[in-house]
Amino acid sequence: MYRLTTVLMMSLTRQLWQARPESLIFQI
């Protein structure tokens, strides 16, 4: 379960990064 959750989180982060990298940088 832990491994599956990690993969899901990584995939979501990857999609967000590809979608709006600039907005993510501003939020950090």
SS (H, E, C) 1-28: CHHHHHHHHHHHHHHHHHHCHHHHHHHC
The pTM (predicted TM-score) of the whole model is 0.45
pLDDT tens digit string along 1-28?
689 899 999 888 888 777 666 766 666 5
Q: What is the pLDDT of residue 13?
A: 85
Q: What is the pLDDT of residue 15?
A: 82
- SS3 for 28? coil
Q: What is the pLDDT of residue 1?
A: 66
Q: What is the pLDDT of residue 21?
A: 63
